[in-house]
Structure 1
Amino acid sequence: MRQNISDSERIGRGVLGIWLIVIAVGALRARRRTVAAIAGIAGIGLIQNAVTGFCGGNWLFNIDSTKE
């Protein structure tokens, strides 16, 4: 897979992903399982984007922010 997100976007997605994981843990402790599941899945997806530098949504819509 070719990278299609810029370095600054990777940092933003990583920070947001970690924040969503923290929200998921807090929601799980408060027994709000639906919120925990949604936040956890979204957080894991954003962290995966940050680590690999590839976003399937950007690829689908032919967006490449590395060229900017």
Structure 2
Amino acid sequence: MDQLLTVHQVAERLGTGVRFPRRLVEERRITFVKVGRHVRIPESAVDDYVTANTVEPILLRPTGLRRAA
């Protein structure tokens, strides 16, 4: 079983403020577990979120030198 992280730990891991993971939970954009009144987020859910929202760079081919007309 994954370690369950607090909202503060997730924010620290993502390098954001606490409001961002709270918004992710509120909008149901990340998996979370309710433990009584507390919200916990599994480590794998954070990793999955980062993987799903990672944008790979586009590699442009060099066009060479163009001559002016």
Coarse TM-score class (shorter-chain normalised):
under 0.3
Please state which structure has a larger fraction of its residues in helix. 1
Which one has the bigger strand percentage?
A: 2
- TM-score normalised according to structure 1 size: 0.26
Task: State which structure, 1 or 2, has the greater radius of gyration over its C-alpha atoms.
Answer: 2
Please give the TM-score of this superposition, normalised by the length of structure 2. Answer: 0.26
Structure number with the bigger relative contact order (C-alpha 8 A, sep ≥ 6) is 1
